[in-house]
Amino acid sequence: MEYAYDDQNIFAKILRGEIPNKTVYENDHALAFEDIAPQAPVHVLVIPKGPYMSLDHFARDASPEEQAGFFQAVASVCEMSDLAEGFRGISNTRAHGVQEVPHYHMHILGGRPLGRMLQP
Ligand code: 5GP
């Protein structure tokens, strides 16, 4: 699979500081910030700082350090948010996954019962 990263996507602009965000956590390899249109009391997006389009792209091509940094950010967001009752991590991917922003991100959603994973 060929991945053609578009550096004009909105999360690339956030990473470059061209668009403001409400940062909740940052390390060398990842940034976590509040979703602009929250779907639950907790709705944080965790993104790698590198140019990866999707979960499969990141899993294939990101270095071990980038992957560790990303998941360390996920762990920190979970720890600092009110998620003891549980949460959902979602990575929508391409057309069938209804991915709107072509920079890999994991939604961390929680703070209320979320219902079943997929509509019947
Ligand atoms: P996707 O559909 O790609 O999985 O999710 C993209 C998410 O990015 C959506 O939940 C949307 O609300 C969020 N989003 C889009 N533009 C912005 C923005 O400029 N700032 C922030 N914080 N979130 C955004």
pTM over 0.85: yes
Q: Which helix (H) or strand (E) holds 10?
A: helix 10-15
Give the pLDDT of residue 119.
76
Q: Are 103 and 81 in contact (CB under 8 A)?
A: no
Q: For a ligand 1 pocket test, name from 9, 10, 93 the mutation site with the most ligand atoms within 8 angstroms of its C-beta.
A: 10
pLDDT digits (tens, 9 = 90+) for 44-75: 999 999 999 999 999 999 999 999 999 999 99
- Distance of alpha carbon 99 from alpha carbon 111, whole angstroms: 23
Going edge to edge, which strands form the sheet with 106-110? 23-26, 30-34, 42-48, 106-110, 87-90
Q: Which domains does the chain have, with CATH numbers?
A: 14-110 (3.30.428.10)
- Residue 36 CA to ligand 1 centre (angstroms): 6
Mean pLDDT of 26-53: 98
